[in-house]
């Protein structure tokens, strides 16, 4: 049964390509993108199966990279309760240094104009 579908698609492609080659190439690109999209979904365990996308099962929430990311975020939350203060102090120090540089340049510019 699949061979008939493939033959029909090939025949449609040849007919479209004879009339408009650009449309034929666009059709091939769309089919290839759809193929890789669905292949990637099935590889990740989120395949739609025979029931279609609307009735497909959502799968497990704790699966693959999602669970790793969630676990890493929870560990960083537990370990990083004290580190927030050091980050704030670094930000304050950087802001203070920036303000000092601005003030120094302002004084330098004012001294250039004040000498004349």
Is residue 97 scored above 90 in pLDDT?
Answer: yes
- The parent domain of residue 75 ranges over 62-116
pTM of the model: 0.34
pLDDT tens, position by position, 8-38:
888 888 888 888 888 888 888 888 898 888 8
Q: Which residue has the higher pLDDT, 113 or 97?
A: 97
For residue 56, being part of any structural domain is answered with no
Residue whose token pair is 């000498």: 115
Q: What is 96-112 written as a DSSP string?
A: HHHHHHHHHHHHHHHHH
For residue 14, being part of any structural domain is answered with yes
Burial-class residue 17 by CB neighbours within 10 Å (0-12, 13-18, 19+): middle
On the CB side of 71, CA atoms within 13 Å amount to 8
- Averaged pLDDT for residues 102-106: 94
Contact criterion met (CB below 8 Å) for 13 and 28: yes
For residue 53, being part of any structural domain is answered with no
- Provide the number of structural domains found in the chain: 2
Is residue 47 scored above 60 in pLDDT?
Answer: no
DSSP summary character for residue 52:
-
Q: Tokens representing 39?
A: 């292949």
pLDDT tens, position by position, 61-88:
445 677 777 777 777 777 766 555 667 7
| Residues 71, 36 share a domain | no
Task: Spell out the residues 6+ positions from residue 38 whose beta carbon is closer than 8 angstroms to its own.
Answer: 47, 48
- What is the per-residue pLDDT for 104? 95
| Residues 104, 73 share a domain | yes
| Residues 84, 106 share a domain | yes
């Amino acid at each position: 049964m699949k061979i008939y579908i493939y033959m029909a698609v090939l025949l449609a492609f040849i007919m479209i390509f004879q009339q408009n080659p650009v449309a034929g190439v666009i059709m091939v690109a769309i089919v290839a993108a759809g193929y890789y999209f669905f292949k990637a979904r099935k590889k990740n365990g989120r395949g739609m199966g025979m029931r279609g996308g609307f009735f497909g099962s959502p799968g497990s929430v704790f699966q693959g990279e999602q669970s790793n990311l969630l676990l890493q975020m929870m560990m960083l939350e537990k370990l990083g309760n004290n580190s927030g203060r050091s980050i704030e102090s670094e930000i304050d120090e950087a802001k203070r240094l920036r303000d000092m540089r601005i003030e120094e340049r302002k004084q330098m510019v004012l001294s250039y104009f004040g000498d004349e």
